[in-house]
Amino acid sequence: MAKTPVSSLRNLGPAVEEACTRAGIDSAETLRDLGAHEAYRRMMATGTRPHFISYYVLHMALQGRPWNDCKGAEKLGLRSQFDSLKTARSTDPDHPPEALEKFLRDIGLNLPRQG
């Protein structure tokens, strides 16, 4: 069975497809099976910088909705989920807090990414 490219989903382009590929998400079908939250967790674990708009765009894409359709209580709920995802990452000993990562990059040290 042929796999559908991630970029075939509304709102998602080559950059998201590349981030998904790095995270082991090789198709739109795999993305749908995982769901937006788990997919974004995996994307962050493989180097995608956390960004709330990207997070809710992924949710909207899986629902076939325009990215800017996310508003009000729905957006607040997604923000809460996103914040918990970022908090879980920032307390993971294999992923130092973003400020430390930025400092280390600024002085020329790049930490290896662990999945």
Q: Does domain 6-106 have CATH number 3.40.50.300?
A: no
Indicate the length of the chain as a whole number. Answer: 115
pTM, entire model: 0.75
Mean pLDDT by 10 residues, the chain (115 residues): 91 95 96 96 92 96 94 95 83 57 69 53
Q: Tokens at residue 48, please?
A: 């995608």
Domain ranges of the chain: 6-106
Q: Torsion over CA of 53, 29, 25 and 37, rounded to 10 degrees?
A: 40
